[in-house]
Amino acid sequence: MLSPTVALTGIAGRKLEIPTGLFINNEFVPSLTGNTLETTNPATGELLATISSASPSDIDTAVSAAKTAFTIWRSTPGTKRRQLLLKLSDLIERDADEFATIEALDVGVIFAQSKGMNVANAIETLRYFAGWADKHDGKSMKIPGGMAYTQKEPIGVCAAIVPWNSPLMITIWKLAPCIAVGNVLVLKSAELTPLYGIKLAQLIKEAGFPPGVVNIITGLGKDAGQALAEHMDVRKLAFTGSGPVGRGILAASAKSNLKKVTLELGGKGASIVFDDADLENAAFWTTVGITAHNGQICAAGSRIYVQSGIYDRFIEAFKKNSLQAVAGDPLHNGSTKGPLASSVQKEKVLKCIENGVKEGVELLHGGKEIKRDGNFIENTAFVNVGENMSIMREEIFGPVASIANFTTEKEVLRLANDSEYGLSSAIFTSDVSRAQRVSDLLETGQVTVNTWGDVSSNAPFGGFKQSGFGRDMGEEALDGWTNIKVVKINT
CA atoms within 13 A on the CB side of 359: 19
CB 168 within 8 A of CB 160: no
Residues 158/215, Cβ–Cβ less than 8 Å: no
Active site residue 298: yes
Given the residues 230, 264, 378, 395, select the one marked as catalytic.
Answer: 264
Q: Encode burial over 157-170: b for 16+ CB neighbours within 10 A, e otherwise.
A: bbbbbbbbbbbbbb
Helix axes 96-106, 120-130, angle to 10 degrees: 130
Nearest to 178 by CA among 23, 25, 70, 21: 70
The alpha carbon dihedral of 44, 122, 118, 304 has a sign of positive
Residue 447, CB-side half-sphere exposure with 13 Å CA sphere: 17
User: DSSP strand E in 10-100: where?
Assistant: 15-19, 22-24, 27-29, 36-40, 47-52
284 in helix, strand or coil?
helix
Phi, psi of 15 (to 5 degrees): -95, 135
Query: What distance in Å separates the CA atoms of residue 185 and residue 310, rounded to the nearest whole number?
Result: 50
For 418, half-sphere exposure in the C-beta direction (CA atoms, 13 angstrom radius) is 14
CA-to-CA distance for 227 and 225, rounded, in angstroms? 5
Task: Give me the residues paired with residue 369 across strands.
Answer: 377
Instruction: Report the interhelical angle of 167-180 vs 120-130 (nearest 10°).
Output: 10
Amino acid occupying residue 272: I
Residues 5, 11, 14, 16, Cα dihedral to 10°:
-20
Query: Distance (Å, rounded) from C-alpha 149 to C-alpha 156?
Result: 21
Out of 124, 298, 352, 378, the active site residue is 298
Strand 27-29 to 22-24 pairing: antiparallel
Which residues, in sequence order, are CB contacts of 473 under 8 Å at separation 6+?
125, 128, 173, 455, 456, 457, 458, 459, 460, 461
The residues assigned a catalytic role are: 264, 298
